[in-house]
Amino acid sequence: MQSRVDEAVEFYKSGKGFNCAQAVFSTYCEDYGLDKESALKLSCALGGGVGKLGQICGAVSGACLVIGLKYGKFLEDDMDSKDKTYELVHEFGRKFTEKNKTLNCSELLQIDLKNGDKDAVKQRTQEVCPRMVRDATEILESLL
């Protein structure tokens, strides 16, 4: 049986043009009641540190979406769910930062995704992003 970690990394590396957030989020979405098409659409804008802005790593954003999908608050008076979600996101962020020194996409890639040379960006994302998807999914597995 294929692990979730391998599934997410292989999806990212599939050559189908899906980003790191999509790879992480879509790997888990159906477990928590969301169809894959909706998950791919919802997480599309998060790749490249949110639309290639180089902010929070898309793999991190995708993992946070999974945590929210599983534990998130949807009832008005359910503060326990909100607290649990934030607690897990904080723990995720701590572990990811411990491993990679930052949550920031531009710092992880050390390249300007929006304005950089397209070939250099492609090469750099192929080198770094599968590892970020792996790290995010491994951490997520330990928290779910």
Is the predicted pLDDT of residue 116 greater than 90, yes or no?
no
Residues 6+ apart with CB under 8 A from 79: 73
Is the predicted pLDDT of residue 106 greater than 80, yes or no?
yes
Mean pLDDT, rounded, of the chain? 95
Query: What does the pLDDT read at residue 1?
Result: 45
> Of residues 117 and 11, which shows the higher confidence score?
11
Is the predicted pLDDT of residue 65 greater than 90, yes or no?
yes
Residues 6+ apart with CB under 8 A from 127: none
Could you give the CA distance from residue 144 to residue 130 in angstroms, rounded to a whole number? 21
- State the residue range of the domain holding 84: 4-143
The pTM is what?
A: 0.94
Angle between helices 118-143 and 58-71 (to 10 degrees): 30
Is the predicted pLDDT of residue 123 greater than 50, yes or no?
yes
Could you give the CA distance from residue 23 to residue 85 in angstroms, rounded to a whole number? 21
The string of pLDDT tens digits covering residues 88-97 is 999 999 999 9
Query: What does the pLDDT read at residue 15?
Result: 87
Please give the backbone phi and psi of residue 104, each rounded to the nearest 5 degrees, phi first.
Answer: -85, 125
The string of pLDDT tens digits covering residues 14-61 is 989 999 999 999 999 999 999 999 999 999 999 999 999 999 999 999
Q: How many domains does the chain have?
A: 1
Is the predicted pLDDT of residue 137 greater than 50, yes or no?
yes
**Secondary structure of residue 28 in the 3-state scheme:** helix
Could you give the CA distance from residue 127 to residue 13 in angstroms, rounded to a whole number? 11
Query: What does the pLDDT read at residue 95?
Result: 98
